[in-house]
Amino acid sequence: MLQLLNITKQFPGVMALDNVSLSVDSGEIHALCGENGAGKSTLMNILTGNLHPDSGQILLNGQAVEIENPAHATALGIAIVYQQLSLVDSLTVAENIYANRQPKNRFGLIQYKTLHAHTQALLNELALPDIRPQELVSELSPGQKQMVEIAKALSQNPAILLLDEPTASLTHRETATLFALLRQLRTEGKAIVYISHRLPELFELADRVSVLKDGRYQGTDQMTSTTPDALISRMVGRRLMAEKSSSSATDEVLLQIQNLSGERFEQISFQLHKGEILGMAGLVGAGRTEIARAIFGIDKHDSGTVQLHGEVVTIAHPADAVRYGIGYLPEERKRLGLFIEQSVAQNIVAAQSPASGPWYNRNRVRSLAESFRQQLGIRTPSVREIAGNLSGGNQQKTMLARWLLVNPDVLIVDEPTHGIDVGGKAEIYAILRGLAAQGKGMLLISSELPELLALADRILVIRDGQLTGELSREEATEEQIMMLATQ
């Protein structure tokens, strides 16, 4: 159904795609793998008309096409679900799903009754009873927003569906619903391109897998004839062994939370020790992020206390938290963590700008940023590069550099490897372990159980806003965590 022949795309100083050729059959779920920066997103943007190749050819059902723009891609039967949501928070679910395609009467006015009926039918098909067509997108959870994004793509009844990390924000139930739907679309003869860094998903779902590395095509395999290790080796050019590191935790208590209650959580109590990585597990929507936001002063808490170094502190604003020595990497790095239109250097000094007297010292900023670029291996042509142009892993390293400059005693990291490839994950893990070895206390929130098991000294489990259990490193297993998170 889809053939790419010798697709090449170059940006200033970067060869994003170098002579890439691959094919996708009708009735196939075709996985596309590669590290961040391998060229996957560039390829998707070419297929949706956001970018045009410098050379090469695209064939649909054997016919050569030039995809002029996103509207043309839609007309050709191509739809995409982006990793970074394209929804408008101030519009309703129905208005987002049928944006620019709303049913209208002969006077050009939107027929909302018909619009809502069409939307409800689509939501029913996707088994999403908790989402209403009239609901504002701003009121939805990240997982619900992702499902609306998927519904938006499916509303176009595409012949070719492109999905970029579609399960990154989904619950287990939503993921199972999506997988069942994709299998149904496969039986209907649709062609599906599925991008994910979660290799177990690919082996569960996909028929074939193609690998990109540094913009070059590395080959295509049947999923039944390859292994996770073989894919990782192709993606990063080396084997990544799961490192087992000794704990750096001490008996000294840095942070103590007592009976903390707020929106979507209550009576949370725990201690975080110097040099400890304390994991926090739970299903999406369990209240983990809300706890982190309350500790950091983004949201108010109703009752309870926060102690640092044995003293009760009042944190009414993130500036208070920073002053007391607490840092926070939010889950949604592009919306809540980065200034994506600013440079890498400006992002690194955002929480503590170095000054020379009363004036902003541009040279000092660039010098500091350059030292962190080298220290953390941030892959960018220059620290003057716009942060939004970096891959997900390098954006995350930029935010880590920001807090290394501030040098907090306590660092809260929420989904630190969300949407990051296996090579980038290994680098982030090494940085977090290094910070713990320096005596930092870290609260690690993650939906990836292997990540928690690899990094955490202890794991707290949150369910429906309550602390349901605590597991040591020795006793923690995926089964134990899921039992506490779901029962």
pLDDT tens digit sequence for 456-470: 999 999 988 999 999
Q: Cβ neighbours of residue 10 under 8 Å, at least 6 residues apart? A: 16, 54
User: Is the Cβ–Cβ distance between 462 and 290 less than 8 Å?
Assistant: no
Residue 148 to residue 146: CA distance in whole angstroms: 5
Is 5's pLDDT higher than 90?
yes
More confident residue, 316 or 350: 316
Beta bridge partners of 462: 467
Residue 191 to residue 251: CA distance in whole angstroms: 55
Q: What are 38-86's pLDDT values in tens digits?
A: 888 889 999 999 999 999 999 999 999 999 999 999 999 999 988 666 7
Per-residue pLDDT, averaged over 213-224, amounts to 91
Q: Which domains does the chain have, with CATH numbers?
A: 2-236 (3.40.50.300), 253-486 (3.40.50.300)
Per-residue pLDDT, averaged over 241-256, amounts to 80
The whole-number pLDDT of residue 36 equals: 65
Q: Tell me the pTM.
A: 0.61
Closest CA relative to residue 266, chosen from 293, 304, 296, 297 = 304
The whole-number pLDDT of residue 205 equals: 94
What pLDDT band is residue 241 in, cutting at 50, 70 and 90? very low
pLDDT over 90, % of the chain: 45
Q: What are the b/e assignments for 166-195, b being 16+ CB within 10 Å?
A: bbbbbbeebbebbbeebeebbeeebbbbbb
Place of tokens 């006015």: 109
Both structure tokens of 278: 């304390």
Q: What are 322-365's pLDDT values in tens digits?
A: 999 998 988 776 677 788 788 888 888 887 766 555 667 777 78
Lowest-pLDDT range of 12-21, 41-50, 215-224: 12-21
The whole-number pLDDT of residue 1 equals: 93
Is 239's pLDDT higher than 70?
no
The whole-number pLDDT of residue 28 equals: 96
Both structure tokens of 463: 């369910």
What pLDDT band is residue 100 in, cutting at 50, 70 and 90? confident
What pLDDT band is residue 210 in, cutting at 50, 70 and 90? very high
Is 146's pLDDT higher than 50?
yes
463-468 long-range contacts, Cβ below 8 Å, gap at least 24?
463/282, 463/283, 463/286, 464/286, 464/287, 465/264, 465/265, 465/266, 465/286, 465/287, 465/290, 466/265, 466/266, 466/267, 466/268, 466/287, 467/267, 467/268, 467/269, 467/270
Per-residue pLDDT, averaged over 120-130, amounts to 85
User: Is the Cβ–Cβ distance between 398 and 375 less than 8 Å?
Assistant: no
pLDDT over 70, % of the chain: 93
